[in-house]
Structure 1
């Protein structure tokens, strides 16, 4: 079984963590903060996803990401919630850039999601890890995470482990 890593950032890392934990083929989701190279070298909320591309292709992970955060909004919190796919190789960068360009036709507004080289990770404090898994009934989870998981069940049901 091949395991590949890629990073995703765009919204609250509690949400992003729960989204990717809900998918078949994802072996691990590390929640925390990712930085890239300048000018994107400040840490931003994100996750590192370890996945099996034979079970869930990178293109599907990108589609899930684009549809479960504000991927077309250049809102004022982008410093904390940078919309990005953090890549580990040039080949991965080419795949991500090509797929985001192809996915643009599915959106009414321009996608702001960047493809950035991964340059560092800091995990969230332990009490915040697996937030949805340990707090599914909390108002934050029912208000923000449950609707994202609903999108996954509706649009990516084949890959969802929570059908």
Structure 2
């Protein structure tokens, strides 16, 4: 098993994408990158804590390889947009990869290089060592499945899911 901590805008979106992928054994929404201990959603949304909304993705690399997990990440959001994903604006929504060791950092660097070959604009995804990961409040976990008809889910998450489903159909859970 491997774990990646990924920030790609609102964690509801990233979580929804990975919950439908074969080999992903856990997807946990949370916060990292800031200085305040035990931040709340309201504090992180203020943009003053330095934290980023992230998802800890645990996966079985005998079923899905690390490169595919990261290519899905770069497909599911716009990594060329600084501190913003659509209408979600602020440093808490930045595109970011948080590594646990030098091997993981190298995997992430290669993924950024691949993404730069796909996107017209330069990828601005931040690459940083993982600090403390704080699990988000329970109501953020598996948010999309619990609220599929909520406006944000329909307008923002559904198109991202559709894009990933088209490109990675062989990796979708049946």
2:51 aligned partner: 43
Per-residue displacement from partner, 1:97-154 (whole Å, max 9, x unpaired)? 0221133111100001122211111111112211011111211111111111111110
Cα deviation for residue 18 of structure 1 reads 0.5
Aligned-residue CA RMSD in angstroms?
A: 1.7
Per-residue displacement from partner, 1:43-88 (whole Å, max 9, x unpaired)? 1101101101111111111111111112111246341112111111
What residue ranges of structure 1 are gaps of 5+ in the alignment?
Answer: none
The 2-side partners of 1:100 and 1:36 are apart by: 23
Pair 1:111 & 2:107 matched: no
1:123 aligned partner: 135
Aligned length: 157
Q: Does the 8 A contact of 1:5 with 1:50 survive in 2?
A: yes
2:42 aligned partner: none
TM-score, normalised to structure 1, is 0.89
The correspondence for 1:138, drawn from 150, 155, 160, is 150
Pair 1:11 & 2:12 matched: no
The correspondence for 1:93, drawn from 105, 121, 134, is 105
Deviates more, 1:20-29 or 1:70-79: 70-79
The correspondence for 1:59, drawn from 45, 57, 67, is 67
